Structure 1
Amino acid sequence: MMPRFLKYSAVLVVAVLLAGCAGPKTIAYDYSAFKQSRPKSILVLAPINESPEVQAPYSLLSQVTFPLAEAGYYVLPIALVDETFRQNGLTTAHDIQAVDTDKLHEIFGADAALYITVTEYGTRYRVLSSDTSVTATAKLVDLKTGTTLWAGAARASSEEGKSNSGGGLIGMLISAAVKQVFNSSTDAAYPMAGIASARMLSPARPVGILYGPRSPKYGSD
Protein backbone atom coordinates (compact mmCIF):
# COMPACT_ATOMS: atom_id res chain seq x y z
CA MET A 1 0.00 0.00 0.00
CA MET A 2 2.76 2.42 0.95
CA PRO A 3 4.77 2.00 -2.31
CA ARG A 4 1.59 2.66 -4.28
CA PHE A 5 0.89 5.78 -2.23
CA LEU A 6 4.43 7.01 -2.75
CA LYS A 7 4.13 6.37 -6.51
CA TYR A 8 0.97 8.45 -6.79
CA SER A 9 2.43 11.15 -4.54
CA ALA A 10 5.44 11.37 -6.82
CA VAL A 11 3.15 11.73 -9.83
CA LEU A 12 1.32 14.59 -8.13
CA VAL A 13 4.57 16.34 -7.24
CA VAL A 14 5.83 16.07 -10.81
CA ALA A 15 2.52 17.34 -12.13
CA VAL A 16 2.53 20.36 -9.83
CA LEU A 17 6.11 21.23 -10.73
CA LEU A 18 5.46 20.94 -14.45
CA ALA A 19 2.23 22.91 -14.15
CA GLY A 20 4.22 25.74 -12.58
CA CYS A 21 6.42 26.16 -15.63
CA ALA A 22 5.98 29.32 -17.65
CA GLY A 23 3.39 29.10 -20.39
CA PRO A 24 0.45 30.87 -22.00
CA LYS A 25 -1.75 32.86 -19.65
CA THR A 26 -4.80 30.84 -18.58
CA ILE A 27 -8.22 32.40 -18.06
CA ALA A 28 -9.73 31.56 -14.66
CA TYR A 29 -12.68 29.17 -14.66
CA ASP A 30 -16.14 30.36 -13.60
CA TYR A 31 -16.88 28.35 -10.46
CA SER A 32 -20.28 29.86 -9.63
CA ALA A 33 -22.24 26.67 -10.49
CA PHE A 34 -19.65 24.50 -8.71
CA LYS A 35 -19.86 26.59 -5.52
CA GLN A 36 -23.64 26.48 -5.58
CA SER A 37 -23.73 22.69 -5.98
CA ARG A 38 -20.81 21.75 -3.69
CA PRO A 39 -20.79 18.01 -4.53
CA LYS A 40 -19.52 15.59 -1.92
CA SER A 41 -19.43 12.33 -3.88
CA ILE A 42 -18.31 11.68 -7.46
CA LEU A 43 -19.19 8.88 -9.86
CA VAL A 44 -16.41 8.33 -12.41
CA LEU A 45 -17.77 7.02 -15.71
CA ALA A 46 -15.83 4.88 -18.17
CA PRO A 47 -13.75 7.18 -20.42
CA ILE A 48 -14.52 7.48 -24.12
CA ASN A 49 -11.45 6.51 -26.12
CA GLU A 50 -10.62 8.55 -29.23
CA SER A 51 -7.06 7.21 -29.44
CA PRO A 52 -6.03 4.05 -31.33
CA GLU A 53 -4.79 2.37 -28.13
CA VAL A 54 -7.31 0.00 -26.52
CA GLN A 55 -5.71 0.25 -23.07
CA ALA A 56 -6.04 4.05 -22.93
CA PRO A 57 -9.39 4.31 -21.06
CA TYR A 58 -8.38 1.66 -18.51
CA SER A 59 -5.09 3.45 -17.86
CA LEU A 60 -6.87 6.74 -17.16
CA LEU A 61 -9.67 5.12 -15.18
CA SER A 62 -7.22 3.38 -12.86
CA GLN A 63 -5.57 6.68 -11.92
CA VAL A 64 -8.16 9.48 -11.96
CA THR A 65 -9.69 8.50 -8.62
CA PHE A 66 -6.54 9.35 -6.66
CA PRO A 67 -6.39 13.12 -7.34
CA LEU A 68 -10.15 13.34 -6.72
CA ALA A 69 -9.80 11.60 -3.37
CA GLU A 70 -6.79 13.75 -2.50
CA ALA A 71 -8.87 16.83 -3.31
CA GLY A 72 -11.40 15.78 -0.68
CA TYR A 73 -14.14 13.86 -2.49
CA TYR A 74 -15.66 10.44 -1.92
CA VAL A 75 -15.22 8.52 -5.19
CA LEU A 76 -17.48 5.55 -5.80
CA PRO A 77 -15.45 2.32 -6.19
CA ILE A 78 -14.62 1.78 -9.86
CA ALA A 79 -15.11 -2.01 -9.74
CA LEU A 80 -18.55 -1.67 -8.14
CA VAL A 81 -19.63 0.93 -10.71
CA ASP A 82 -18.38 -1.20 -13.60
CA GLU A 83 -20.18 -4.31 -12.34
CA THR A 84 -23.43 -2.37 -11.86
CA PHE A 85 -23.34 -1.17 -15.45
CA ARG A 86 -22.54 -4.68 -16.72
CA GLN A 87 -25.51 -6.15 -14.86
CA ASN A 88 -27.68 -3.59 -16.61
CA GLY A 89 -26.30 -4.42 -20.05
CA LEU A 90 -24.05 -1.37 -20.43
CA THR A 91 -20.52 -2.31 -21.44
CA THR A 92 -19.29 0.54 -23.66
CA ALA A 93 -18.22 4.02 -22.60
CA HIS A 94 -20.50 5.71 -25.14
CA ASP A 95 -23.56 3.87 -23.80
CA ILE A 96 -22.59 4.53 -20.18
CA GLN A 97 -22.02 8.25 -20.73
CA ALA A 98 -25.35 8.48 -22.56
CA VAL A 99 -27.36 7.44 -19.47
CA ASP A 100 -29.56 10.26 -18.13
CA THR A 101 -28.11 12.09 -15.14
CA ASP A 102 -31.25 11.58 -13.05
CA LYS A 103 -31.02 7.84 -13.66
CA LEU A 104 -27.36 7.80 -12.59
CA HIS A 105 -28.31 9.68 -9.43
CA GLU A 106 -31.12 7.22 -8.74
CA ILE A 107 -28.88 4.17 -9.14
CA PHE A 108 -25.66 5.35 -7.48
CA GLY A 109 -26.75 8.23 -5.25
CA ALA A 110 -23.69 10.30 -6.15
CA ASP A 111 -23.83 14.09 -6.26
CA ALA A 112 -21.86 14.46 -9.49
CA ALA A 113 -20.43 12.39 -12.34
CA LEU A 114 -17.11 12.79 -14.09
CA TYR A 115 -17.17 12.36 -17.88
CA ILE A 116 -13.74 11.73 -19.43
CA THR A 117 -12.55 11.53 -23.03
CA VAL A 118 -9.05 10.34 -24.00
CA THR A 119 -7.97 12.13 -27.18
CA GLU A 120 -4.29 11.09 -27.29
CA TYR A 121 -2.48 8.10 -25.84
CA GLY A 122 0.72 6.35 -26.81
CA THR A 123 4.15 6.83 -28.33
CA ARG A 124 5.08 8.44 -31.61
CA TYR A 125 8.42 7.29 -32.97
CA ARG A 126 10.80 9.48 -34.92
CA VAL A 127 14.32 8.89 -36.25
CA LEU A 128 16.09 10.55 -33.34
CA SER A 129 13.47 10.52 -30.62
CA SER A 130 10.11 9.26 -29.46
CA ASP A 131 7.36 11.14 -27.66
CA THR A 132 4.97 9.37 -25.30
CA SER A 133 1.95 11.57 -24.71
CA VAL A 134 -1.46 11.47 -23.09
CA THR A 135 -4.20 14.06 -23.55
CA ALA A 136 -7.61 13.95 -21.91
CA THR A 137 -10.62 16.17 -21.33
CA ALA A 138 -13.17 15.95 -18.53
CA LYS A 139 -16.31 17.56 -17.22
CA LEU A 140 -18.03 17.30 -13.84
CA VAL A 141 -21.84 17.23 -14.04
CA ASP A 142 -24.36 17.69 -11.24
CA LEU A 143 -26.51 14.53 -11.30
CA LYS A 144 -29.51 16.25 -9.74
CA THR A 145 -29.75 19.12 -12.21
CA GLY A 146 -27.63 18.05 -15.19
CA THR A 147 -25.60 21.26 -14.88
CA THR A 148 -21.93 21.20 -15.87
CA LEU A 149 -20.03 22.29 -12.77
CA TRP A 150 -16.53 22.20 -14.20
CA ALA A 151 -14.66 21.28 -17.37
CA GLY A 152 -10.95 20.90 -18.00
CA ALA A 153 -8.23 19.26 -20.05
CA ALA A 154 -4.60 18.24 -19.61
CA ARG A 155 -1.70 16.79 -21.54
CA ALA A 156 1.48 15.08 -20.38
CA SER A 157 4.47 14.25 -22.56
CA SER A 158 7.71 12.39 -21.96
CA GLU A 159 9.55 15.06 -23.93
CA GLU A 160 8.67 17.96 -21.62
CA GLY A 161 11.74 19.83 -20.48
CA LYS A 162 14.14 17.56 -22.33
CA SER A 163 17.07 18.71 -24.43
CA ASN A 164 18.67 16.71 -27.24
CA SER A 165 21.87 18.73 -27.28
CA GLY A 166 24.06 16.14 -25.51
CA GLY A 167 25.59 12.94 -26.84
CA GLY A 168 25.77 13.89 -30.49
CA LEU A 169 24.02 12.15 -33.36
CA ILE A 170 25.17 8.63 -32.43
CA GLY A 171 24.03 9.10 -28.85
CA MET A 172 20.63 10.33 -29.99
CA LEU A 173 20.19 7.35 -32.32
CA ILE A 174 21.12 4.87 -29.57
CA SER A 175 18.80 6.60 -27.11
CA ALA A 176 15.92 6.51 -29.62
CA ALA A 177 16.50 2.81 -30.31
CA VAL A 178 16.56 1.91 -26.60
CA LYS A 179 13.41 3.90 -25.94
CA GLN A 180 11.62 2.22 -28.83
CA VAL A 181 12.48 -1.27 -27.54
CA PHE A 182 11.43 -0.33 -23.99
CA ASN A 183 8.19 1.33 -25.05
CA SER A 184 7.22 -1.58 -27.29
CA SER A 185 7.48 -4.02 -24.38
CA THR A 186 5.72 -1.87 -21.76
CA ASP A 187 2.86 0.61 -21.57
CA ALA A 188 5.08 3.68 -21.55
CA ALA A 189 2.04 5.98 -21.59
CA TYR A 190 0.76 4.76 -18.22
CA PRO A 191 2.92 7.17 -16.14
CA MET A 192 1.96 10.00 -18.50
CA ALA A 193 -1.70 9.15 -17.88
CA GLY A 194 -1.10 9.56 -14.15
CA ILE A 195 0.51 12.97 -14.65
CA ALA A 196 -2.26 14.10 -17.00
CA SER A 197 -4.88 12.94 -14.48
CA ALA A 198 -3.20 14.83 -11.64
CA ARG A 199 -2.87 17.97 -13.74
CA MET A 200 -6.46 17.87 -14.83
CA LEU A 201 -8.17 16.95 -11.57
CA SER A 202 -6.03 18.43 -8.79
CA PRO A 203 -7.46 21.59 -7.20
CA ALA A 204 -4.90 23.96 -8.74
CA ARG A 205 -6.01 27.45 -9.67
CA PRO A 206 -7.06 29.04 -11.93
CA VAL A 207 -8.68 26.09 -13.74
CA GLY A 208 -8.60 23.03 -11.43
CA ILE A 209 -11.52 21.61 -9.50
CA LEU A 210 -12.50 22.98 -6.08
CA TYR A 211 -11.55 21.27 -2.84
CA GLY A 212 -14.06 18.70 -1.59
CA PRO A 213 -15.62 18.39 1.90
CA ARG A 214 -13.02 15.85 3.08
CA SER A 215 -10.19 18.32 2.52
CA PRO A 216 -9.01 20.70 5.30
CA LYS A 217 -9.02 23.39 2.61
CA TYR A 218 -12.71 22.90 1.84
CA GLY A 219 -14.49 26.22 1.43
CA SER A 220 -11.27 28.22 1.14
CA ASP A 221 -11.53 28.65 -2.63
Structure 2
Amino acid sequence: MFKKILIAEDIDSVSLGLKTWLASQYPNADIRSTKYCDEALLKVKRSVAENAPFDLVISDLTFTEDHLPATIKTGEELIVLIKKLLPKSKIIVYSIYDNPQRIYNVFHNLEINAFIAKGRNSIDEFAEALNMLYTSEATFISPHLLQWVEETNHTDISDDDILLLQWLARGISQKDMSIKLQELNKSYQNIASVEKKLKRLKQMLNASSSIQLIANAKDLGII
Protein backbone atom coordinates (compact mmCIF):
# COMPACT_ATOMS: atom_id res chain seq x y z
CA MET A 1 0.00 0.00 0.00
CA PHE A 2 1.04 3.65 0.13
CA LYS A 3 4.35 4.08 1.92
CA LYS A 4 4.93 7.84 2.02
CA ILE A 5 2.06 10.33 2.28
CA LEU A 6 1.93 14.13 2.35
CA ILE A 7 -1.08 16.08 3.64
CA ALA A 8 -1.39 19.79 2.73
CA GLU A 9 -4.19 21.15 4.92
CA ASP A 10 -4.31 24.39 6.92
CA ILE A 11 -7.00 23.39 9.44
CA ASP A 12 -5.37 21.59 12.37
CA SER A 13 -8.36 19.45 13.32
CA VAL A 14 -8.88 18.24 9.75
CA SER A 15 -5.19 17.51 9.24
CA LEU A 16 -4.85 15.67 12.57
CA GLY A 17 -8.01 13.63 12.01
CA LEU A 18 -6.94 12.55 8.54
CA LYS A 19 -3.38 11.81 9.66
CA THR A 20 -4.64 9.70 12.56
CA TRP A 21 -6.96 7.69 10.32
CA LEU A 22 -4.29 7.15 7.67
CA ALA A 23 -1.87 5.95 10.35
CA SER A 24 -4.43 3.37 11.45
CA GLN A 25 -4.76 2.12 7.88
CA TYR A 26 -1.05 2.23 7.01
CA PRO A 27 0.83 1.75 10.30
CA ASN A 28 4.19 1.49 8.54
CA ALA A 29 3.71 4.53 6.31
CA ASP A 30 5.71 7.73 6.63
CA ILE A 31 2.99 10.40 6.91
CA ARG A 32 3.92 14.09 6.81
CA SER A 33 1.69 17.17 7.00
CA THR A 34 1.92 20.92 6.49
CA LYS A 35 -0.35 23.97 6.64
CA TYR A 36 1.39 25.79 3.81
CA CYS A 37 1.66 25.19 0.06
CA ASP A 38 5.21 26.53 -0.12
CA GLU A 39 6.31 24.12 2.61
CA ALA A 40 4.48 21.27 0.90
CA LEU A 41 6.47 21.87 -2.28
CA LEU A 42 9.73 21.98 -0.31
CA LYS A 43 8.89 18.64 1.32
CA VAL A 44 8.20 17.16 -2.11
CA LYS A 45 11.48 18.50 -3.52
CA ARG A 46 13.36 17.11 -0.54
CA SER A 47 11.74 13.70 -0.93
CA VAL A 48 12.77 13.58 -4.58
CA ALA A 49 16.33 14.68 -3.76
CA GLU A 50 16.55 11.94 -1.13
CA ASN A 51 15.24 9.39 -3.64
CA ALA A 52 12.28 8.68 -1.36
CA PRO A 53 9.40 10.48 -3.08
CA PHE A 54 5.87 10.69 -1.75
CA ASP A 55 3.62 8.19 -3.50
CA LEU A 56 0.44 9.92 -2.30
CA VAL A 57 -0.30 13.63 -1.86
CA ILE A 58 -3.55 14.88 -0.32
CA SER A 59 -4.29 18.59 -0.65
CA ASP A 60 -7.05 21.09 0.00
CA LEU A 61 -7.80 23.74 -2.62
CA THR A 62 -8.18 26.80 -0.42
CA PHE A 63 -5.55 27.98 2.05
CA THR A 64 -6.19 30.93 4.35
CA GLU A 65 -3.49 33.59 4.26
CA ASP A 66 -1.78 34.55 7.52
CA HIS A 67 1.30 36.54 8.61
CA LEU A 68 3.66 34.35 6.58
CA PRO A 69 4.20 35.41 2.95
CA ALA A 70 3.08 32.77 0.45
CA THR A 71 4.38 32.21 -3.07
CA ILE A 72 1.92 29.38 -3.79
CA LYS A 73 -1.56 30.42 -2.70
CA THR A 74 -3.95 27.75 -3.98
CA GLY A 75 -4.17 24.00 -4.16
CA GLU A 76 -4.35 24.19 -7.94
CA GLU A 77 -0.98 25.95 -8.15
CA LEU A 78 0.52 23.41 -5.77
CA ILE A 79 -0.84 20.44 -7.72
CA VAL A 80 0.62 21.69 -11.01
CA LEU A 81 4.08 21.99 -9.43
CA ILE A 82 3.89 18.66 -7.60
CA LYS A 83 2.83 16.77 -10.73
CA LYS A 84 6.01 17.97 -12.47
CA LEU A 85 8.10 16.52 -9.64
CA LEU A 86 6.00 13.43 -8.93
CA PRO A 87 4.45 12.40 -12.27
CA LYS A 88 3.75 8.85 -11.10
CA SER A 89 2.36 9.65 -7.65
CA LYS A 90 -1.34 9.77 -6.80
CA ILE A 91 -2.95 13.10 -5.94
CA ILE A 92 -6.18 13.48 -3.99
CA VAL A 93 -8.00 16.77 -3.49
CA TYR A 94 -9.79 16.85 -0.13
CA SER A 95 -11.92 19.97 0.00
CA ILE A 96 -15.23 21.41 1.10
CA TYR A 97 -15.28 23.53 -2.04
CA ASP A 98 -18.34 22.57 -4.07
CA ASN A 99 -18.20 24.82 -7.15
CA PRO A 100 -18.71 22.58 -10.19
CA GLN A 101 -16.43 24.57 -12.49
CA ARG A 102 -13.53 24.56 -10.07
CA ILE A 103 -13.97 20.83 -9.48
CA TYR A 104 -14.08 20.23 -13.23
CA ASN A 105 -10.83 22.13 -13.66
CA VAL A 106 -8.82 20.21 -11.05
CA PHE A 107 -10.31 16.85 -11.99
CA HIS A 108 -10.02 17.07 -15.76
CA ASN A 109 -7.50 19.78 -16.58
CA LEU A 110 -5.06 19.05 -13.74
CA GLU A 111 -5.75 15.31 -13.99
CA ILE A 112 -5.88 14.51 -10.29
CA ASN A 113 -6.69 10.97 -9.21
CA ALA A 114 -9.52 11.69 -6.77
CA PHE A 115 -11.70 14.48 -5.41
CA ILE A 116 -13.18 13.80 -1.98
CA ALA A 117 -15.61 16.26 -0.45
CA LYS A 118 -15.23 17.03 3.24
CA GLY A 119 -18.36 15.82 4.95
CA ARG A 120 -20.15 13.01 6.78
CA ASN A 121 -18.98 10.28 4.42
CA SER A 122 -15.38 11.42 3.96
CA ILE A 123 -13.70 8.48 5.69
CA ASP A 124 -15.75 5.86 3.85
CA GLU A 125 -14.97 7.61 0.57
CA PHE A 126 -11.28 7.80 1.44
CA ALA A 127 -11.23 4.06 2.10
CA GLU A 128 -12.85 3.38 -1.26
CA ALA A 129 -10.70 5.87 -3.12
CA LEU A 130 -7.38 4.68 -1.68
CA ASN A 131 -8.14 1.07 -2.48
CA MET A 132 -9.14 2.05 -6.02
CA LEU A 133 -6.08 4.23 -6.62
CA TYR A 134 -3.65 1.65 -5.34
CA THR A 135 -5.05 -1.25 -7.31
CA SER A 136 -5.90 0.47 -10.59
CA GLU A 137 -5.59 3.60 -12.72
CA ALA A 138 -9.25 4.46 -12.13
CA THR A 139 -10.26 7.83 -10.71
CA PHE A 140 -12.62 8.60 -7.83
CA ILE A 141 -14.94 11.49 -7.06
CA SER A 142 -17.44 11.87 -4.24
CA PRO A 143 -20.75 10.53 -5.64
CA HIS A 144 -22.77 13.67 -4.97
CA LEU A 145 -20.27 15.74 -6.99
CA LEU A 146 -20.17 13.45 -10.01
CA GLN A 147 -23.33 14.77 -11.64
CA TRP A 148 -22.16 18.36 -11.24
CA VAL A 149 -18.89 17.62 -12.97
CA GLU A 150 -20.59 15.83 -15.85
CA GLU A 151 -23.17 18.59 -16.35
CA THR A 152 -20.94 21.64 -15.91
CA ASN A 153 -20.76 24.06 -18.83
CA HIS A 154 -17.06 24.50 -18.25
CA THR A 155 -16.38 22.95 -21.65
CA ASP A 156 -17.94 26.09 -23.15
CA ILE A 157 -14.81 27.95 -22.06
CA SER A 158 -12.22 27.33 -24.76
CA ASP A 159 -8.44 27.53 -24.69
CA ASP A 160 -8.72 30.86 -26.52
CA ASP A 161 -11.07 32.15 -23.81
CA ILE A 162 -8.54 31.16 -21.15
CA LEU A 163 -5.81 32.94 -23.12
CA LEU A 164 -7.85 36.16 -23.16
CA LEU A 165 -8.53 35.87 -19.43
CA GLN A 166 -4.83 35.39 -18.73
CA TRP A 167 -3.98 38.46 -20.80
CA LEU A 168 -6.69 40.47 -19.08
CA ALA A 169 -5.29 39.46 -15.68
CA ARG A 170 -1.86 40.71 -16.80
CA GLY A 171 -3.35 44.10 -17.66
CA ILE A 172 -3.02 43.75 -21.43
CA SER A 173 -5.36 46.10 -23.32
CA GLN A 174 -7.89 44.91 -25.86
CA LYS A 175 -5.89 46.68 -28.57
CA ASP A 176 -2.74 44.77 -27.64
CA MET A 177 -4.77 41.55 -27.38
CA SER A 178 -5.86 42.11 -30.95
CA ILE A 179 -2.23 42.50 -32.05
CA LYS A 180 -1.20 39.34 -30.21
CA LEU A 181 -4.06 37.42 -31.83
CA GLN A 182 -2.91 38.57 -35.26
CA GLU A 183 0.58 37.29 -34.43
CA LEU A 184 -0.95 33.94 -33.46
CA ASN A 185 -3.00 33.95 -36.68
CA LYS A 186 -6.30 33.53 -34.83
CA SER A 187 -9.53 33.77 -36.80
CA TYR A 188 -10.81 36.59 -34.58
CA GLN A 189 -8.29 39.41 -34.56
CA ASN A 190 -9.98 42.78 -34.34
CA ILE A 191 -10.81 44.69 -31.17
CA ALA A 192 -14.56 44.25 -31.71
CA SER A 193 -14.17 40.45 -31.67
CA VAL A 194 -12.08 40.60 -28.49
CA GLU A 195 -14.66 42.85 -26.83
CA LYS A 196 -17.46 40.47 -27.85
CA LYS A 197 -15.62 37.45 -26.41
CA LEU A 198 -14.91 39.22 -23.12
CA LYS A 199 -18.54 40.30 -22.87
CA ARG A 200 -19.62 36.67 -23.35
CA LEU A 201 -17.19 35.55 -20.64
CA LYS A 202 -18.60 38.13 -18.22
CA GLN A 203 -22.07 36.70 -18.79
CA MET A 204 -20.85 33.11 -18.34
CA LEU A 205 -18.93 33.87 -15.14
CA ASN A 206 -21.51 36.28 -13.75
CA ALA A 207 -19.18 39.29 -13.73
CA SER A 208 -20.15 42.93 -14.14
CA SER A 209 -16.62 44.27 -14.68
CA SER A 210 -13.23 43.17 -15.92
CA ILE A 211 -11.90 43.11 -12.35
CA GLN A 212 -14.73 40.86 -11.21
CA LEU A 213 -14.24 38.68 -14.30
CA ILE A 214 -10.60 38.09 -13.38
CA ALA A 215 -11.49 37.42 -9.74
CA ASN A 216 -14.24 34.94 -10.67
CA ALA A 217 -12.00 33.16 -13.18
CA LYS A 218 -9.30 32.77 -10.50
CA ASP A 219 -11.83 31.57 -7.90
CA LEU A 220 -13.06 28.92 -10.32
CA GLY A 221 -9.54 27.78 -11.13
CA ILE A 222 -9.85 28.76 -14.79
CA ILE A 223 -6.69 30.91 -14.64
Name the TM-score class by shorter chain: 0.3 to 0.5
Q: TM-score, normalised by structure 2?
A: 0.32
Bigger Rg, structure 1 or 2: 2
